[in-house]
């Protein structure tokens, strides 16, 4: 495992070139094809760009961007001009982006190379990557297990060393949960920290682009490059971007909260509980304050999330009507038939379930009972979380109540799958930044993760403490 610093040192010494690095990744993509992490590999293009960057480096070594040395993959929900983007759905079959997402533009401007587009759950709806027209991606730690979702292919692409980092999206845990299942670092920044322009929308008040990697410094640097105001996304924040990648020593004693209701939740795996408590004990032994706080809303998070996100999705996905985008049923004769058949055939069962649920909770007569009620629950959760974070630096939680599921294990009962997001959704409900850190190995041999959440725009301290914790607490 290499960090960008090491790669850049090798490039400086002349012991490697970008072309050699890209070729090595391409060879690994080829040898790990069965993991189904990629839906498209930009082999030729990536080599071409590597050659150009090597040339630029040879001529003007002082003019290289901050990300010279970075090869990344992008989730199939991010627009990249001239490249297909399908959200792993038939409805967008063959659709090519007309413009590039701001986040990607900023990475390219700093000399990063994009190696391919990764598999995911359709429209980022799911926790296993099984809801994809391309079939599931497989966990490289155990191919009988899912990598998590929805950014499953992104996680596997990093896990299998086919790129340095990957971009995913996180609406309810889709970066952090696959990171936990695959033993990676997964960051969901504060809502609005990274522009969503060019990210296919699932639930706009929850969506945020996130980063998966093996090193905190790489993840922090990508955030630093992508973060900041964008006039194309009115929800992007104008707050100054801090030097996230500087990662100074964490010298303070942290005040950390955890919820008894989370650690003792009925759904939590016994070994995850034990290892989480063990981590808390090590933090305490290192002099940090770690205390249980009252959070009475844990079991309301998932119901409120599924009312609000499906409502937003039902509106966002109405644009895929068979008229303006990609797939259109070839036999449909009337306008009505075109809508009906194209959407029936184009969307997966899960996506249709969510569109229908969202339409229902927004409909006259049910709006107040479901949608308005869920908004109130969201407000209560936000206020309580803010109150906790006014007295504590971080909230610590497992990332997932279980290690990676077996393939097919959760597909029969959607509600069971929804409930597995119990620990990750709070950060999206409240807009807080949160990160998954590798906690260790489960007794089954699978990777496990732990999650830290901080107050809005506290990415600098979240990453600095994560770095401290990764090196001093989790490696023991």
Catalytic residues: 75, 150, 174
- What tokens were used for 383? 């206020």
Least distance between ligand GLN and beta carbon 189 (Å)? 13
Q: What's the min distance (Å) between Cβ of 188 and ligand GLN?
A: 8
Smallest gap, in angstroms, from Cβ of residue 195 to ligand GLN? 17
Nearer to ligand GLN, 150 or 237 (CB): 150
Per-residue contact track with ligand GLN, 364 to 403, x per CB under 6 A?
----------------------------------------
Residue 334: CB minimum distance to ligand GLN, A: 34
* 386 alpha-carbon distance from chain centroid: 23
Q: Provide long-range contacts, Cβ within 8 A and 24+ apart, for 207-210.
A: 207/124, 207/169, 207/170, 207/171, 208/169, 208/170, 208/171, 208/428, 209/78, 209/101, 209/103, 209/167, 209/168, 209/169, 209/170, 210/151, 210/167, 210/168, 210/169, 210/170, 210/174, 210/175, 210/176, 210/186
Q: Strands 71-75, 113-118: parallel, antiparallel or unpaired by DSSP? A: parallel
CA torsion 163-40-425-165 (nearest 10°) is 10
Instruction: Considering only residues 281 through 320, tell me which ones interact with ligand GLN, judged by CB under 6 A.
Output: none
Among 69, 126, 147, 346, binds ligand GLN (CB under 6 A): 126
Could you tell me whether strands 165-169 and 71-75 are parallel, antiparallel, or unpaired per DSSP bridges? parallel
Q: Which is nearer to ligand GLN, 38 or 202 (CB)?
A: 202
Residues 128-187 binding ligand GLN (CB under 6 A) are: 150, 169-174
State phi, psi for 291 to the nearest 5 degrees. Answer: -135, 150
**Minimum CB–partner distance for residue 247 and ligand GLN (Å):** 26
Nearer to ligand GLN, 179 or 220 (CB): 179
Q: Tell me: does residue 423 bind ligand GLN (CB under 6 A).
A: no
49/193 with CB nearer ligand GLN: 193
Residue 111 — φ and ψ, nearest 5°? 75, 25
d(CA 376, CA 97): 37
Point out which span in 55-63, 65-73, 79-87, 124-132 binds ligand GLN (CB under 6 A): 124-132
Q: Is residue 421 near ligand GLN by the rule CB under 6 A?
A: yes
Residue nearest to ligand GLN (CB): 174
Measured from the CB of residue 418, what is the shortest distance to ligand GLN in angstroms? 7
The residue among 73 and 150 lying less far from ligand GLN, judged by its C-beta, is 150
Q: H or E stretch including 167?
A: strand 165-169
Among 11, 125, 146, 156, binds ligand GLN (CB under 6 A): 125
Examine residue 458 and tell whether it contacts ligand GLN (CB under 6 A): no
Q: Which stretch binds ligand GLN (CB under 6 A): 120-128, 268-276, 326-334, 399-407?
A: 120-128
Q: Nearer Cβ to ligand GLN, position 168 or 322?
A: 168
Which regions of 205-357 does DSSP assign to beta strands (E)? 209-213, 255-259, 289-293
Q: Which residue has the tokens 């999650």?
A: 451
* Alpha-carbon gap, residue 5 to 24, rounded angstroms: 18
Side-chain-side CA neighbours of 148 within 13 Å: the count stands at: 38
Determine if 202 is a binding residue for ligand GLN (CB under 6 A): yes
Return the number of the residue (154 or 464) whose C-beta is nearest ligand GLN: 154
DSSP assigned state of 248:
-
State the DSSP string of 437-449: EEEEE-TTS-EEE
Q: How far is the CB of 322 from ligand GLN (least distance, A)?
A: 24
Query: Residues in contact with ligand GLN, total (CB under 6 A)?
Result: 13
Strand blocks (E) in 267-383:
289-293
Site of interaction with ligand GLN (CB under 6 A): 124-127, 150, 169-174, 202, 421
């Amino acid at each position: 495992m290499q960090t960008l610093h090491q790669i850049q040192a090798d490039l400086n010494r002349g012991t490697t070139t970008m072309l050699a690095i890209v070729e090595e990744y391409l060879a690994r993509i080829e040898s790990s094809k069965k993991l189904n992490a990629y839906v498209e590999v930009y082999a030729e293009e990536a080599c071409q760009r590597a050659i150009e960057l090597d040339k630029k480096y040879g001529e003007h070594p002082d003019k290289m961007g901050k990300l010279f040395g970075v090869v990344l993959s992008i989730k199939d929900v991010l627009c990249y001009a001239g490249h297909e983007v399908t959200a792993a759905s038939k409805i967008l079959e063959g659709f090519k982006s007309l413009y590039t997402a701001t986040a990607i533009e900023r990475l390219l401007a700093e000399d990063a190379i994009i190696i391919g587009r990764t598999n995911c759950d359709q429209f980022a709806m799911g926790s296993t990557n099984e809801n994809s027209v391309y079939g599931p991606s497989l966990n490289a730690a155990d191919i009988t297990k899912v990598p998590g979702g929805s950014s499953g292919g992104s996680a596997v692409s990093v896990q299998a060393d086919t790129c340095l980092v990957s971009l995913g999206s996180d609406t309810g845990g889709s970066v952090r949960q696959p990171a936990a299942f695959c033993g990676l670092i997964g960051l969901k920044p504060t809502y609005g920290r990274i522009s969503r322009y060019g990210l296919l929308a699932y639930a706009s008040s929850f969506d945020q682009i996130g980063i998966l990697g093996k090193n905190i410094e790489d993840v922090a640097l990508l955030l630093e490059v992508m973060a900041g105001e964008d006039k194309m996304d009115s929800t992007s924040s104008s707050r100054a971007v801090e030097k996230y990648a500087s990662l100074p020593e964490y010298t303070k004693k942290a005040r950390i909260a955890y919820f008894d209701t989370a650690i003792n939740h009925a759904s939590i795996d016994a070994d995850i509980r034990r290892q989480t408590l063990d981590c808390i004990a090590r933090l305490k032994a290192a002099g940090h304050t770690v205390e249980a706080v009252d959070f009475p809303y844990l079991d309301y998070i998932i119901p409120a999330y599924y009312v609000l996100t499906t409502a937003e999705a039902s509106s966002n996905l109405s644009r895929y009507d068979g008229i303006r985008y990609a797939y259109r049923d070839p036999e449909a004769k009337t306008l009505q038939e075109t809508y009906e058949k194209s959407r029936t055939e184009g969307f997966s069962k899960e996506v249709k379930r969510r569109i229908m649920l969202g339409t229902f909770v927004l409909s006259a007569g049910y709006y107040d009972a479901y949608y308005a009620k869920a908004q109130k629950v969201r407000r209560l959760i936000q206020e309580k979380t803010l109150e906790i974070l006014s007295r504590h630096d971080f909230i610590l939680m497992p990332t997932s109540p279980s290690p990676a599921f077996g393939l097919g294990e959760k597909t029969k009962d959607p509600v069971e799958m929804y409930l597995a997001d119990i620990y990750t959704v709070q950060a999206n409900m409240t807009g807080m930044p949160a990160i998954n850190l590798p906690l260790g190995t489960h007794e089954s041999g699978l990777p496990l993760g732990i999650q830290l959440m901080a107050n809005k725009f506290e990415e600098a301290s979240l990453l600095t403490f994560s770095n401290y914790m990764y090196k001093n607490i989790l490696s023991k």
